[in-house]
Structure 1
Amino acid sequence: MVDILYERHIKSELDLALESARIVNLIGPRQIGKTTLVRGMLGNGHFVSFDDENVLAAIEADPQGQMQILIMSANGEPIIIDEVQRSKKIALTIKRVVDADRRMGQFLLTGSSNVFVSADVLNSLAGRVQTLKMLPLSSAEIDDAGPCLILDWAKESGELNALPPCRSISKIEVIDRIIRGGYPEIRHLSERSRQRRYREYIDTIVDRDVADVMKIRLPDSMRRLINQLAVRTGNEPNMTDLGDKVGLTRQVVGEYVDILERLSLVIRLPAWTSGEAGRDIKQAKCHLIDTGITAALRGLAAGDFALGKDQTPLGALFKTYVFTELLKCISLQRDEWRLYHWRDRRGREVDVVAESGNLVVGFEMKASSTVTRADFDNFDVFKSGPAAKWDFLGLVIYTGDQVLAFGDRQFAIPVSIFSSFPKATTQS
């Protein structure tokens, strides 16, 4: 099979970052295409990978000396360091270089976690480093469409006639895309091979990437924890209950989840509050970053969601799928947005709340090809209660094929909207 080279939307951000920062730090999960992207962008840069044990050993033994060799070899071009998180000494070494040289775009670093996490290093590098996060493929990238600008649309118009026509994608195709996930080298494999590769991928994360962040005593417990988080994706995890199931204390579970978040395998979605809604739930939700991994860990295949089968697992996968689609396009909007969830003590909730300025956009996910007015009930509670002082727009994302209006700035929109914006709308 010929490899497909996807056009990644983060490239435009990366180009700008190289013009405005001495160090550009591109972080994201392993095997999502970071190396392919940076090597394709910078054909003249000097590339080195710390996955090469010899190179890593040399850097750790003599970071200053090896850095001088890299600088001479680069001859003024950017130095590209792949899997940079594997070195414990590189951050301070790079800091010394950029302190003495003010040129932009000197270093382009890629890794599964941020090497600049030390408070001392962060403070001393203020204004010198820009960190970008790259995630698995979005639907728009898979379909060779423009980035989804649905939040720009919500802020600038909110009118249905301003939305692009939604692509025609059947529910079966949506399920297939959810099950395949967004890892470029894995998603095209056959079902059995794909599930095996995703499970092996988790083993690699635990055995290598986790150790780069923190030495853990119980790697098997970490694997069991990831499996449990896959079952609970899109939910508010009970750390005590998780600890009981995987044989860890509540505190250690929290530490392990922190590690997985640093590695971009798990994303925590914080709770939204207006500042006055004292009875709202404050617990964050946890989503695995990729539905392909989630499905593989749960042993779910597309056939498990055929007519007559239990659709409950699909609901959770669909929520995570839509949330991660929003996450992948949020940095490409013109304005700054933050994502949250909302739930009150009576269990009424909004799956995702996007906030920018005085506008909040609520997203409810429904893994069904039909939608009714009852699917908007929680929006009514939310906008008349905790969000009463905010401008509000409510969207139910579903697997149907029609854009529908349900009154008072509330709409049902097909999930295909995430790959329906044309390339012409891409920001320069």
Structure 2
Amino acid sequence: MDESLLPRHLQPQLRAALTSARVVNIIGPRQVGKTTLVRDLLTVGKFITLDEEGVLAAIEADPKGQMDALLAETKAGPLIIDEAQRSTKLALALKRIVDENRAMGQFVLTGSSNVFISAHVADSLAGRVHTMTMLPMSVAETKRMGPAKILDWASAKDRPDPLDLPKPETLSRVQYIDLIVAGGFPEIRTLEERWRQNRYTDYVDSVVERDVAYILKIRKSDAMRRMIDQLATRVGNELNIDELCSNISLQRNTTETYLDILTKLSLLRRLPAWTSGESKRDIRQPKIHLVDTGIVAALRSMNAQSFNIGANPTALGGLFENFVFNEMWKSLPHQMRQWRLYHWRQRGREIDILAESDRTIIGFEMKASTTVEAKDFQHLRWFREEGPGMNRPFVGIVIYMGERVLSFGENIFALPLSIFWSFNDS
């Protein structure tokens, strides 16, 4: 199957952004399909890439003049600038141009990090730039289904009705694990296992050598590479900075700088801790998630056979949680409401993901099993009935590897993992 023909859920947002913003800024990791998205969607416009050293040098020498000349050559549509983050002078030149010209959709930028990193430039361009984050493909995209509207369903009324959910695809445990270890990078996910793992490992090396080294201006990348390996072993767990520093032999400030860079490159997501404001016993350390479980599996030399009966169950648990988090993260722009994601732990109780919008909270627990039972909901029930969610609209959900949508009481449900790719594109 030609992956370039698979529809991306951001396409309608990109079309809308071109009519409402002077600059559309698409950021995300390398090789997730940013260039394919803009080239397939935009049949007009002019395309340049700053990966070409001559083009980059010309823009750095005279950014405003080059932009004016390129716009003059662009008969219709936007000027598309690929790998925009490579220029240190582009942002100010764009600001000057869009200050003079109020037309919408003048520029589309793509890059692995945000070109508008200066607070001054970002503030002065408020309302003129629409920034979108593009991530590896969701399973829904690979199966040509619509975005997962689970949060919309859970918050639509006082008591969500399982009958309002689409029929989830029936998959076996092995089929679920195959999807988790394959990952979502368009050119890599369909490769045979050995080549896929090699490509993901090479991908991480290239990001460290190109993107990270370019941002930090460092020559030795061994410590950053060791850090990524260490993070891969900790997905789904809380971040312990001191332990991480010790394992990679780095000072704390350097470690935190590296973590910030990986976050800016959209490779790392630190899921913040949710606090009620009522208890000092809430845990405040973030959890770690990497952008793609295919990368995690490759760095840890894991394949589908790694999770056979008798294998370490905690290894699958962290990977499963990371996978669900990523699918939910990708679904956020497509919900009717704005949601923020957190995790929560207090005195031996924990909830893997809390989605919060206004006062509504949706709690998600993960169970890497084909069955679910009442005890799997104990933390969700406590949070709602005795904990900080007792005076707020709350829905508790366990995501598991089974086949059926199940109700375990008022606003307490078990949903199959496949529910994330069972919504029609409507």
Alignment TM-score > 0.5, same fold: yes
Superposed displacement of residue 59, structure 1? 1.2
Superposed displacement of residue 390, structure 1? 1.0
- Counterpart secondary structure, 2:269: strand
Comparing 260-269 with 160-169, greater Cα deviation is found at: 160-169
Partner of 1:30: 30
Matched residues, percent identical? 54
- Counterpart secondary structure, 1:423: coil
Partner of 2:365: 364
Whole-angstrom CA distance in 2 between matches of 1:376 and 1:388? 15
The superposition leaves residues 374-406 of structure 1 with CA deviations (integer Å, 9 ceiling, x where unpaired) of 110111222221222211100000000011111
Question: What is the TM-score with the length of structure 1 in the denominator?
Answer: 0.97
Whole-angstrom CA distance in 2 between matches of 1:367 and 1:380? 20
Whole-angstrom CA distance in 1 between matches of 2:341 and 2:354? 6
Comparing 32-41 with 164-173, greater Cα deviation is found at: 164-173
Whole-angstrom CA distance in 2 between matches of 1:249 and 1:219? 15
The superposition leaves residues 284-315 of structure 1 with CA deviations (integer Å, 9 ceiling, x where unpaired) of 11100100000000010111112232232111
- Counterpart secondary structure, 2:209: helix
Question: What is the TM-score with the length of structure 2 in the denominator?
Answer: 0.97
- Unaligned 5+ runs, structure 1: none
The answer (yes or no) to whether the contact 1:113–1:213 under 8 Å persists in 2 is: no
Of 398, 401, 416, 1:414 maps to 416
Which amino acid counterpart does residue 241 of structure 2 have in structure 1? M
Q: Does 1:343 align with 2:345?
A: yes
The answer (yes or no) to whether the contact 1:367–1:399 under 8 Å persists in 2 is: yes
Structural mapping, 1:182-331, within 5 Å: 182-216=184-218, 218-331=220-333
The change in CA–CA distance for 1:339 and 1:3 in structure 2 (over 3 A counts) is closer
Which amino acid counterpart does residue 418 of structure 2 have in structure 1? S
Superposed displacement of residue 32, structure 1? 0.3
Superposed displacement of residue 76, structure 1? 4.3
Which amino acid counterpart does residue 201 of structure 1 have in structure 2? Y
The superposition leaves residues 3-38 of structure 1 with CA deviations (integer Å, 9 ceiling, x where unpaired) of 452100011111111111000101111000000000
Partner of 1:146: 146
Structural mapping, 1:370-409, within 5 Å: 370-383=371-384, 384-409=386-411
Superposed displacement of residue 2, structure 1? 4.8
Partner of 1:16: 16
The change in CA–CA distance for 1:3 and 1:284 in structure 2 (over 3 A counts) is closer
The superposition leaves residues 77-133 of structure 1 with CA deviations (integer Å, 9 ceiling, x where unpaired) of 200001100111111111111010000000000111111110110111111101011
Superposed displacement of residue 219, structure 1? 1.1
Whole-angstrom CA distance in 2 between matches of 1:277 and 1:142? 43
The change in CA–CA distance for 1:75 and 1:2 in structure 2 (over 3 A counts) is closer
Partner of 2:65: 65
The answer (yes or no) to whether the contact 2:213–2:221 under 8 Å persists in 1 is: no
Which amino acid counterpart does residue 286 of structure 1 have in structure 2? I
- Unaligned 5+ runs, structure 2: none
Whole-angstrom CA distance in 2 between matches of 1:407 and 1:116? 48
Structural mapping, 1:70-85, within 5 Å: 70-85=70-85
- Counterpart secondary structure, 1:152: helix
Which amino acid counterpart does residue 278 of structure 1 have in structure 2? K
Superposed displacement of residue 75, structure 1? 2.4
